[in-house]
Amino acid sequence: MIAGALGVSFRQALRSVSLTLFPLAFIALFSWASAGSTSGNTGDPVRASAWLFLGAHLIPFALPTGKLTVLPLLAVIYPIWAIRRGLPTVEAAFNKINGARLVYSFWYALLCELLALASMHHGVSANLYLTPVMSFFIAMVATLKFDRSRNRTLYFSLYLFAIALGCATLVFAFTLYGHWSELRSISIVLGGGIVGGTLMTLLQLLYLPNIALATLSYLTGIGFAFGSHSTINATQVTIGQVPALPFISALPTGIHKELNYAIGFWGLFFIVIFIFMQRGENSMLRLTRILISQGIRFFIVIAAVAYLSAGELLTSNLNPVGVIWWRFISYLAVAFISASVVALYIPAILRKVIQRG
């Protein structure tokens, strides 16, 4: 019975890996064939497909020139979909859902580690220590069943944050359109052809959540970095050498001091959440418990997203690229505490004073 369940979970983990790996292998082989090769060694695109697979799991890479730790957040959706496809079969083979998730995630992480070991070549390698950790964590998250009724405030907070990211993406798109001539010039210089241009566009679309978070941070006065010793915020723009990538044309070049006042957005953001949280709740003790429990979960999610959205981009000169996660979280924590006082505790104190009076 146990051996059969282990076999089922292994087969489904292998199937989930294949659902992500095989399409990436086709893309890598097609790109390699279109670009041409003097060596004719098909091992290169096969290794490239493994690197794409591991990169989709947000696993950092060591390169001869530096590191690649800033990876496209949107790419993780595909592995999550592939993992969830095999979950029902694994659940049917186990008596306990938590045991099924653990075994399934273990096999998945083991297969990812084997891919990382097999794909090491000429100084390019995935981080062998983080590969099983990240893949296991992604598999556990993908197989988790959320109870929305018990986490209404957390879901509402994440929905609001997603809306804010969407608005930031629109601002980025308008900015990119405003610098169309620079965008076109960079695209011409890259000259990747139809296949290369399509792949470059797809890669930039996968980086949209990273770009949206950096844009949102800039619009709300916090700012972000693009390389060592760089500062990009409302009052200072200091940029060093940047790579020739199309989305770079949307980087800010001027000062917008009025964005310093936009930091108040986060206070309003949390006030709206706290107003939603008070619906049907009269006990301040219960509201405080919800505030702490849901707030901790929200900040863990946002801190993880902010941390994974930034990092080193190929060379040490491009480190960090994106939001400074601890600075971003610090601003949000101050806004969270201030908004909780304004929206929850001051009104509660005033009500008690009025009742006693």
130, with CB counted inside 10 A (0-12, 13-18, 19+), is middle
357 residues of the chain, pLDDT tens digit each: 577 778 888 899 999 999 999 988 888 887 777 765 555 566 778 888 999 999 999 999 999 888 999 999 999 999 999 999 888 888 888 777 778 889 999 999 999 999 999 999 888 899 999 999 999 999 999 988 777 667 888 999 999 999 999 999 999 999 888 888 887 887 777 766 677 777 888 888 999 999 999 999 999 999 999 888 888 888 888 887 777 788 888 888 888 888 888 889 999 999 999 988 887 666 788 888 888 998 999 999 999 999 999 999 888 888 889 999 999 999 999 999 999 988 888 887 887 777 775
pLDDT (tens digit per residue) in 51-84: 999 999 999 999 988 899 999 999 999 999 999 9
* The predicted structure's pLDDT at residue 327: 94
156 in the same domain as 141: no
Q: Which residue among 117, 145, 173 closes a domain?
A: 145
* In a shared domain, residues 264 and 351: yes
Q: Are residues 218 and 156 in the same domain?
A: yes
Name the one residue in this structure whose structure tokens are 């003097």. 38
Q: How many domains does the chain have?
A: 2
CA distances for 187 relative to 243, 248, 271, angstroms: 12, 11, 43
Shared domain check, 83 and 199: no
Domain extent for 329: 150-356
From CA 318, how far away is CA 309, in angstroms rounded?
14
For 24, phi and psi rounded to 5 degrees?
-70, -35
The answer to whether residues 33 and 138 belong to one domain is: yes
333 Cβ contact list (under 8 Å, min separation 6): 299
Residue ending a domain, among 88, 114, 145, is 145
Whether residues 249 and 122 fall in one domain: no
Q: Looking at the structure, tell me whether residues 210 and 347 fall in a common domain.
A: yes
Residues 321 and 251 in one domain: yes
Same domain, 198 and 321: yes
The pLDDT of residue 189: 73
Residues 311 and 292 reside in one and the same domain: yes
Torsion angle defined by CA atoms of residues 128, 129, 132 and 133, in that order, rounded to the nearest 10 degrees: -150
The DSSP-derived string for 288-357 is: HHHHHHHHHHHHHHHHHHHHHH-B-BSSGGG-SEE--HHHHHHHHHHHHHHHHIIIIIHHHHHHHHHHH-
H or E element that contains 127: none
- Out of 110, 127, 145, a domain closes at 145
**Domain shared by 256 and 112, yes or no:** no
Q: What secondary structure letter does DSSP report for 133?
A: H
Indicate whether 248 and 335 sit together in one domain.
yes
